[in-house]
Amino acid sequence: MYGWFNLKDKIKKYFRFNQDEIKGIVISILIIGFIISFKEWGYQEFSWSIGLKNLLSSIFISAAVIIVGITAHKIAALKAGFTVEFKMWLYGLIIGLVLVLVSRGNLWFIAPGGIVIYHMAAHRVGYFRYGVNMWALGMISLVGPLAVIVFGGFFKTMTLYFSWFPLNVFLVDKMFKISLIYAFFNLLPIPPLVGANLFFASRNWYVFIIGTIASYIVMLLAFNFYSYIFSIIIGFIIWLIYYTVFESGYWSFP
């Protein structure tokens, strides 16, 4: 509705992280870094030096992914006249820790938390659905995981097509996979994760997005093949099946 200069000014004035958010982000980064690096504490036998090196790289990667996701939420919310606060989900983080310990690092559950939006009265003037609403919350929620995927994909593409650019291929590969997994887990419809907001905003959009991301991850992990276009097509097919099987019948009145 408003232009670039308006957004720039809003970012300058309102883009902030409060104390609770910073605390939540730091705790999430440390726990997710530990979860990611759990299987990387040595090759044949346990090694502190290898483990700490991998832990540090995992913390760096999880910090990048989480901060990009939350920043995207915040900027998208400011564009629409809202402010966003990140809320850490302690249950999710502890469940993640328990699962990674019990499965010896094979089972990941990366769910740092969700978001809450607040209405900026003056900045919403002129918008249809003036107040806080489910659709706005859903769309703001969607932006975070999408930004994380694009962020991971950008660096992956750099290593593939611009190999002269000095990037650590191993780290970029790891970041790419983690960004996809992070996006997938965050899109699960479990409150307070952002996926629940999208689910309640629009089931059709939810099925399409989760179908697209899941197919992308499956193609990557099972066949080492990645294509945004193919995953969008598969996501569309999944949505179509869902719509014909459930949604169209659900809304048909006698």
Residues near other proteins (CB under 8 A) are 20, 90-91, 94-95, 97-98, 101-104
Nearest distance from residue 95's CB to other proteins, in Å? 8
Structure tokens at 118: 């607040």
Q: Is the peptide bond before 192 cis (omega within 30 degrees of 0)?
A: yes
Distance CA 205, CA 34 (A): 33
- Are 107 and 99 spatial neighbours (Cβ–Cβ below 8 Å)? yes
Q: Partners of 88 in the beta sheet? A: 113
DSSP tag of 45:
S
Nearest distance from residue 94's CB to other proteins, in Å? 5
Quick one: 91 or 236, whose CB is closer to other proteins?
Answer: 91
CA dihedral 38, 190, 89, 27 (to 10 degrees): 30
Structure tokens at 125: 């003037």
Nearest distance from residue 33's CB to other proteins, in Å? 17
Nearest distance from residue 78's CB to other proteins, in Å? 25
Quick one: 51 or 153, whose CB is closer to other proteins?
Answer: 51
Quick one: 63 or 90, whose CB is closer to other proteins?
Answer: 90
Quick one: 103 or 244, whose CB is closer to other proteins?
Answer: 103
- Are 15 and 82 spatial neighbours (Cβ–Cβ below 8 Å)? no
Quick one: 191 or 228, whose CB is closer to other proteins?
Answer: 191
Nearest distance from residue 103's CB to other proteins, in Å? 7
Structure tokens at 34: 């530990």
